[in-house]
Amino acid sequence: MGVDLGELLSRKKISFDELSGKAVAVDAYNTLYQFLAIIRGQRGEPLMDRQGRVTSHLSGLLYRNSNLMAMGAKLVYAFDGKPPVEKEMEVKRRMSVREEAVVRYEDALKKGDMKAARTYAQATARIKDQMVADSWRLLDLMGIPWVQAPSEGEAQAAYMAAKGDVWAVASQDHDSLLFGAPRLIRNLTMSGRRKLPGKELYVEVNPELICLDKVLAELGLTREQLVDLGILVGTDYNPDGVKGVGPKSALKMVKTYGRLENILAHVQEARFPTSPEGIKRIFLKPDVTGNYLLKWKTPMVEGVIDFLCGERDFSEDRVRKAMSMVTEAFQKAEKAEKTGTLAKWFVKT
């Protein structure tokens, strides 16, 4: 779900050239769900190998990463750990949505409505443990570092950005800003043409940058007040927010009363699945780790070939082409590092 603050946040479109040489922490689960939802066949089925194992996420990681790396981006993936107990309601809601989508998908297939089937199929995407393990394996083989967060991957990515260990966080959700990420990049893994839901219209989707300092200055808020605003609107930890309160009215409330505690004293219908103070603590003092090593390693081309082509039925020609881009990108970055035109990408232990 993520917090819905889009209409309040200023942003600017950026080119991939502006990301060259910069380390970007990617919210792994957010990205994998995109790949699992979008990379599907005509009947809405995910890509699979001959043994029936889903490979949509591997396809997305290979081809999107190779393209981004060819443009000079330095990628790090942050994976979710155990979700906070406060997220239980949202986890159950998402599970219910997927179960309903499965029923509607199967019904659409029986009716021969392939358009509806594909739409419902996208909502059935679910990340399983084997998919995560496969993703770790592919990232290792491609030389891309990843970090296992103790809890929320987005909080971990924001922590690394706030520490200066990466330049920005890449995610479709705005939660990274509440977690303290100084920069958020949206549309990094889904740029290009995108079909509008329910319409035969396509729009160009380009990366966009949102800077936390600029947002706070323009809204006249502190980061803690931005968290308060998000809680009023609704987060993964209180999905319904406060009844009747949208982003603009929430902003007005925060500016009028200053703090969430003061606001709730003036709101009659404010029900929370857990304590508001506990929700604030998740954003302001998230469970993260500083025990990580970020280093871009030499891509193991033959290892990728063995894994994707030998085990998962990928086209060897296509995989080799993608990996040639990865190898060339690594060599360029390594050369720039040795000549001093790019800071050594060794970040933290």
The domain tally of the chain equals 2
Matching residue, tokens 């997220």: 87
Mean pLDDT across the chain, nearest whole number? 88
pLDDT at 346: 39
- Contact between 153 and 78 under an 8 Å Cβ cutoff? The reply is yes
Asked if the structure places residue 335 within a domain, the reply is: no
pLDDT in tens, 172-185: 889 999 999 999 99
Indicate if 59 and 137 belong to the same structural domain. Answer: yes
> For a pLDDT cut of 70, what percent of the chain falls above it?
92
Indicate if 162 and 274 belong to the same structural domain. Answer: no
CA quadruple 135, 128, 174, 98: dihedral, nearest 10: 150
Range of the domain at 81: 1-219
pLDDT in tens, 149-158: 999 999 999 9
pLDDT in tens, 22-51: 999 999 999 999 999 989 988 888 999 999
Among the three residues 219, 250, 271, which one is the final residue of a domain in this structure? 219
Indicate if 281 and 184 belong to the same structural domain. Answer: no
Q: What is the CATH number of the domain that holds 105?
A: 3.40.50.1010
Among the three residues 160, 190, 219, which one is the final residue of a domain in this structure? 219
DSSP string, 152-174: -HHHHHHHHHHTTSSSEEE-SSS
Res. 287 pLDDT band, cuts 50 70 90: very high
Asked if the structure places residue 299 within a domain, the reply is: no
Please state the pTM of the whole predicted model.
0.88
Among the three residues 254, 286, 318, which one is the final residue of a domain in this structure? 286
Q: What is the CATH number of the domain that holds 276?
A: 1.10.150.20
Within 234-272, residue ranges assigned H as helices are 247-257, 260-264
Structure tokens at 55: 């490979």
- Res 302 pLDDT > 50: yes
Indicate if 171 and 200 belong to the same structural domain. Answer: yes
Res. 202 pLDDT band, cuts 50 70 90: low
